[in-house]
Amino acid sequence: MAGSVKVNGLGSVINNMKMMIETNRMKCIKGVNLAGAILETNMKKHASLTDHSLKDLADMDHPYSTRKSKDSGPHPDYEVHSQSGELKDNILKNGYATNTMAGVEVGVLESDVPHIKYLIEGTVKMRPRDFISHAAVESTDGIGIALTTAILGK
């Protein structure tokens, strides 16, 4: 056609959209990794008290016993005293990402810490000491800030 102008824009728009998607995907992955680090830090904090030994707790008449009321120990029930460091050392953070999703899982494998179920759920003699759920609730605001900052750059 003589005397015409041809405009090809769809290819450029699609290429720009692909770059934007990848940039935002990477921002999401960064935010999720930050969220996982916050959760991992809080979990480890609540699983590593060192101010009382097993003997100290026995001398206190087992303050986390089911015979006592909730949170009647020297710390709230979600705070766990570290004996060997095994629990804290086995709190794991695993991130994963695909083209359409990013996530992170933080927790303790029962194969690494066989008594974790009893610690979280309690036993006939010991009240539940669910530091995992408490850390998740405690981390909510920080996770929101981490995700917002990573994605929006604020």
Each residue's pLDDT tens digit, 50-74: 999 889 998 989 989 899 988 888 9
Q: What is the pLDDT of residue 154?
A: 64
Residue 7 inside a domain? The answer is no
Q: What is the pLDDT of residue 101?
A: 86
Residue 86 inside a domain? The answer is yes
Q: What is the pLDDT of residue 7?
A: 66
Residue 2 inside a domain? The answer is no
Domain tally, the chain: 1
Question: In which residue ranges of the chain is pLDDT below 50?
Answer: none
Structural domain harbouring 136: 12-152
Full-model pTM = 0.84
Q: What is the pLDDT of residue 15?
A: 80
Residue 136 inside a domain? The answer is yes
Residue 143 inside a domain? The answer is yes
The 10s digit of each residue's pLDDT in 113-126 is 999 999 999 999 99
Query: Are 93 and 102 a contacting pair, CB within 8 Å?
Result: no
Residue 17 inside a domain? The answer is yes
Residue 6 inside a domain? The answer is no
